[in-house]
Amino acid sequence: MKSVMTGNQAIARGFWEAGGRLAASYPGSPTVEMLESLKEYDEVYSKFSVNEKVALEMSENFQMPMLLDITSRVCHSRSIVETGKRVEMEIKGFSPDREK
């Protein structure tokens, strides 16, 4: 299926299709539109944090490694995007390394 989206909306859609589960950002960040777009997907827990540090700490609190760190500055133009179905990923164990 094809849809017209901004670059930020397309990144959010790709995150959802790839099985993403947790997204965090902070007000004033260039990624605000991505997080707003992710709120459309029930399978993704998306939340604004007070700052960058707190947003990053969410992955530790949820025992999920951060796999994607995106900053988007010029993704407001719209174009046609080929969309797909969501791929559910198996949740594997994660043990944070507190020594790092």
Q: b or e along 57-77 (b: 16 or more beta carbons within 10 Å of the residue's beta carbon)?
A: ebbeeeebeeeeeeebeebee
Banded model confidence at residue 41, pLDDT cuts 50, 70, 90? very high
CATH code assigned at 45: 3.40.50.970
Record the tokens describing residue 92, joined without a space.
Answer: 């594997």
Residue 98 lies in a domain: no
Q: What's the confidence (pLDDT) of residue 67?
A: 54
96 three-class SS: coil
When divided into structural domains, the chain yields a total of 1
11 is in which domain, residue-wise? 2-82
Banded model confidence at residue 55, pLDDT cuts 50, 70, 90? confident
pTM of the entire predicted model: 0.70
